[in-house]
Amino acid sequence: MSQFKQTRGNEKNKEVKDQILSAAKLLFAEKGYEGTTVRQICQEADVSLALVSYHFGGKENVFFHLFEPIRQLFMNMKYDLSDPLCALRSFCKQFIIFRNEEHELIRILQQELVMNSPRLEMLTDVFLPSWEQLRVILQECQDKKAIGFPSVDAALNFIMGTLMQSHNNALLNRTQSELSSEKIADLAVSFIINGLQATQE
């Protein structure tokens, strides 16, 4: 096989895989994992049924592949813990911008967490890194007295709850936000920092 044909074949395979993942993300966010079939994914992606098996081996592997962007995000996040308050702001802002861009992924993850799904064990590499990174930052904030709050665990739960809540939920938000992802992130960071500072009183 010529180099050109091999390159074309690789590009085509990536295109098909991306179509399948995009369709699956949309359907899992809307119907949940259990409510989505491989046939529905193929119809939405406009590909043949056999291609899901060929590229992924089945619905479960499609599901796990979806979360690669989150894995990459937290694997590549770097913070300067010499300034833990700045690190906290940076963590929260990056998370919120990502959440707004990938709101369907976050919605799927929320569904799995709420249902305490059997798939959660396989997703620990998706949500635990963010949890542990934030814990380290908060511990540094407390140790260096950058900001006062009575409990790292309580602060961790408060912040992650705020970060995970999506403003893209159509049921709760009847009007389209005119704010950019950047502005929403800045407002959320202010809310979080002010909330933590209020616990000092």
Model pLDDT for residues 15-59, shown as the tens digit of each residue: 999 999 999 999 999 999 999 999 999 999 999 999 999 999 999
Q: Report, as an integer, the average pLDDT of 164-192.
A: 74
SS3 content of the chain, % helix, strand, coil (to 5): 70, 0, 30
Average pLDDT rounded to a whole number, residues 64-87: 89
pLDDT in the model for residue 169: 56
Mean pLDDT of 82-108: 91
Least confident of 38-42, 98-102, 172-176: 172-176
